[in-house]
Amino acid sequence: MSEEESTVIFVLGGPGSGKGTQCAKIVDSFGYVHFSAGDLLRQFVRSGTKEGNECAEMMQQGKIVPSSVTVNLLKTAMKESGQSKFLIDGFPRNLENRDTFLSVVGHDCTFVLFFDCPEDVLEKRLLGRAEGRADDNIETIKKRFKTYQDQTMPVIEHYDKKGMVKHVKTDVSIEEVFEKVSAFFK
Ligand code: C5P
Ligand code: MG
């Protein structure tokens, strides 16, 4: 399967907006393969290499790691899966992520699924979840919110101008969100 023939859906939204949860449900119902850029980066960090340690440091500061690293991880995961329908969550986090994906993978997404949720709700969810993540502390959370506003919102605006964004409000139950999300995949 060449990447030229693949279908890619980007899933974006603030930290804690339900990207991972909803992606798991989309996989079950609609036969996509799901890759989380954040999960791939955390796995890369565990490799313990010098580059991995540099990424860990940036993630602890809520910063976006260089696109070359993230896009290579995504490209490899896509290729190794042997599949052709991809949900990519937490990506592109900035316009550089997006440009690099386009030049490395060779095509854009079909649409962007965007999860809209107020910051106070996100903060409660992040502080309440017990995944043992090094960046789920209040100090890093505030930095992640700022990075999201400064760097990720311009990506949403970019795709909005092209009419490619499916907006979903996610400060409701998992089931209610999934009902809205499902409609875009049917
Ligand atoms: O999406 P998630 O919250 O798991 O991402 C965790 C961290 O991984 C982000 O705060 C950021 O530091 C890093 N990341 C990144 N580039 C991406 C996705 C995640 O630098 N495209
Ligand atoms: Mg996630």
Measured from the CB, is residue 18 less than 6 Å from ligand 1? no
| Contact criterion met (CB below 8 Å) for 95 and 155 | yes
Which residue, by CA, sits nearest to atom 20 of ligand 1? 64
Q: Please, which pLDDT band fits residue 3 given cuts at 50, 70 and 90?
A: very low
At 172, the pLDDT band (50, 70, 90 cuts) reads very high
SS3 at position 137: coil
Q: What are 31-60's pLDDT values in tens digits?
A: 999 999 999 999 999 999 999 999 999 999
Among all bound ligands, the one having the nearest atom to the CA of 40 is 1
The predicted-structure confidence for 85-137, as pLDDT tens digits, reads as follows 999 999 999 999 999 999 999 999 999 999 999 999 999 999 999 889 999 99
Q: Give the predicted TM-score (pTM) of the model.
A: 0.96
pLDDT confidence of residue 155: 98
pLDDT at 109: 98
Peptide bond into 66 cis (omega under 30): no
- Examine the pLDDT at 174 and tell me if it is beyond 60: yes
- pLDDT score of 157 more than 70: yes
Residue identified by tokens 């979903």 is: 168
**Mean pLDDT on 148-165:** 98
42 lines ligand 1 (CB under 6 A): no
User: Which structural domains are found in the chain, ordered by start?
Assistant: 3-183 (3.40.50.300)
pLDDT at 4 over 80: no
Cα 140 to Cα 50: distance, rounded to the nearest angstrom: 22
| CB 41 less than 6 A from any atom of ligand 1 | yes
Tokens read off for 144: 């992640």
What the block records as the tokens of 11 is 């899933």
